Amino acid sequence: MLKKVIAAFCLIFTVSAVERPFTYNNSTFLLHGKPFQIIGGQMDPQRIPHQLWPDRLAKARAMGLNTIFSYVYWDQLEPVKGSWESSGNNDIAKYFKIAQEQGLNIVLRPGPYVCGEHEWGGFPSWLSEVPDMVVRSNNRAFLTASESYIQNLAKDLKPLLVENGGPILMVQVENEYGSYGDDHEYIGALRDMLRSESAFGPVVHLYTNDGGQESMIKGGQISGALAESDGDPQTGFAARNKYVTDPSSLGPQLDGEYYVTWLDQWASNNTHQTDSGNAKSIQAVQSDLDWILKQNASFSIYMVHGGTNWGFQNGADWGDSLEPITTSYDYGAPIDESGRTNDIYNAIRQTIASHIGSENIPDMVKDEPVIEIPDIKLTPSSKLLDSLPDPISKKFPINMEALEQAVGLTLYRHVMASAINGTIDVGDAPRDRILVYVNGRRVGVIDSLYVTPNTVELSLKKGDILDLLVENMGRVNYGDRIVDQRKGIVGNVTLDQNVLYGWQIYSLPLSSPPKPSSNDIKLADTSDPVFFEGAFDVDPIGDTFLELPGWTKGVVWVNGINLGRYWTIGPQQTLYLPGCYLHEKNNKITVLALEPTGQEDVVRGIKTRNWGNNPDPDAPSN
């Protein structure tokens, strides 16, 4: 194996820099034979409506960037094993071509694991049902699935390598693997997959990216791939110089993820993360980027534009409990979630211009106006528990993936064969958010958002209907828990330590809302989830932010497009609605209220995003 690596490395570097469009020496990247600093930023196509790609890329270029770093989410491209969906927001090749037209290069970060606060770090949910599967390891089942993914991706993207006249300069091997492990056979297998003739070929430039600590740098580095660091640039660069001695992994320094701010997570005590308006913090960013450029080094801002976790694409972190990521992936970025530039953008643009000259940066791109939409009256259209699909019957509950379901809700229904009183325990542990109903009325919420979730005591009679509605709040995307991210109920349900046998299980992926029912729904008489509908016109068409006063938690669709989750606890209090999703007349809006209170009435479009926090009405009382 080592001989193959050395041979491939020699093949790359025996050709002169002039003949190769992109290469590097010990201290400098070379593009078309000339010294080249990567002035980059992360911007992932699958988080941006494809209609808006030209605008977002043009704004990145006008900030002074010359390169876009891009994750690719496997779960979006292959949601069902053996399928391949590369249209719309998944048309990665089109995104890269637009970037090239804007004068931007590409650094591709395909994973197969990417983290990115995305659902399961980009892994498709069906991996959980593959026998003997262990993700992020030198595991035959995982490597076989990964190789198929990489080969399919390469069919779309190999023509866009810089060697073929395209914009792709480098491809990352895995993602910050040194923060997870040090299995070099695994990383070596991925390196060889990427360089195989059936993927990107032996000439592709590969790199690894890891945090600036000894264990991280050493754990992620692999022979034949350029070793790079992220985070604080001075710490990372020093660590790379100290701990990497393999000449085939040495070259110019790159801060592969320079963090301007940080991500947002749903919680009453989590405020929105941004440095906008904080002159001292912005100056610190400018100082770091100025230092990097003076070192003849390179960087990628994470994120230059974060975008949105459309639908149920958000992942979750895990501290002492589940930490689900918000629908917005604004990330306090220089180009905000809605594509508007801010003071961070202007400051970074100024810093870059001081190094490369303002004449080498395109003119600023104008932000389009944001519109207001007056109150949209919504009325109840159907109850979720009255709109159920056909169930499957099982003696014991089964997990969501075994239902061939990736995201959304799963309902588990049991009819009591005898009277039982006591505490209900759900599976091996609550993995998400569980709404508990008895005879159609909500009696409790068990939420893994909390270290100690609510305890729900039940007193059930023979014939009572027990419903457990489980919401996938996002698979964990980082850390050891990533190994097992089955959703729904995993294990048995017990009541007073008695195992409940006999379940009707309903798969509710919510790929689209149900058709309205003909039943007259009286909100005062219900506590189970309700769909509301409304219609509205706009003139002119433009972006807006949907505000939901009085609504607790749920999901919003506009013209059939799932905009994502809302939740009163914050910090996100509005949903971004791009104008490209709107018509002038008769726009349809559907809102699922998972916990209706009778206060639901209107939704409106406002010109500014709202951030803030409210108490969680379902927070544990203990």
Q: Which helix (H) or strand (E) holds 466?
A: strand 465-471
State how beta strands 39-42 and 67-71 pair: parallel
Q: Distance between CA 170 and CA 95 in Å, rounded? A: 16
- Unique residue bearing structure tokens 């992620």: 220
Q: Are 485 and 397 a contacting pair, CB within 8 Å? A: no
Task: Kindly state the tokens that stand for 446.
Answer: 């068990």
Edge-first strand order for the sheet with 29-31 is 22-24, 29-31, 34-36
Which are the contacts of 340, defined by CB distance < 8 A and separation ≥ 6?
Answer: 367
Q: Are 573 and 553 a contacting pair, CB within 8 Å? A: no
Q: Distance between CA 99 and CA 169 in Å, rounded? A: 13
Could you say which of 176, 337, 401, 595 is catalytic? Answer: 176
Q: 402-430: b or e for each residue (b if 16 or more CB lie within 10 Å)? A: bbebbbbbbbbbbebeeebeeebbbbeeb
| Catalytic residue list contains 457 | no
Which are the contacts of 489, defined by CB distance < 8 A and separation ≥ 6?
Answer: 397, 398, 399, 410, 412, 426, 427, 468, 470
Closest CA to 69 of 306, 324, 269: 306
Closest CA to 70 of 181, 191, 189, 170: 170
Could you say which of 228, 257, 471, 595 is catalytic? Answer: 257
Task: Kindly state the tokens that stand for 340.
Answer: 């508007």
Closest CA to 570 of 592, 589, 547: 547
Q: What is the 3-state secondary structure (H, E, C) of 81-132?
A: CCCCCCCHHHCHHHHHHHHHHCCCEEEEECCCCCCCCEHHHHCCHHHHHCCC
Q: What is the DSSP string of 275-329?
A: -TT-HHHHHHHHHHHHHHHHTT-EEEEETSB--B--TT-B-EEESSSEEEBPSB-
Q: What is the crossing angle of helices 184-195 and 2-13, to 10°?
A: 50
Q: 561-582: b or e for each residue (b if 16 or more CB lie within 10 Å)? A: bbbbbbbbbbbbbbbbbbbebb
| Catalytic residue list contains 323 | no
Beta bridge partners of 506: 411
Task: Kindly state the tokens that stand for 164.
Answer: 């073929």
Q: Distance between CA 406 and CA 404 in Å, rounded? A: 7
- 452: burial class by Cβ within 10 Å (0-12, 13-18, 19+)? exposed
Annotated catalytic residues are: 176, 257
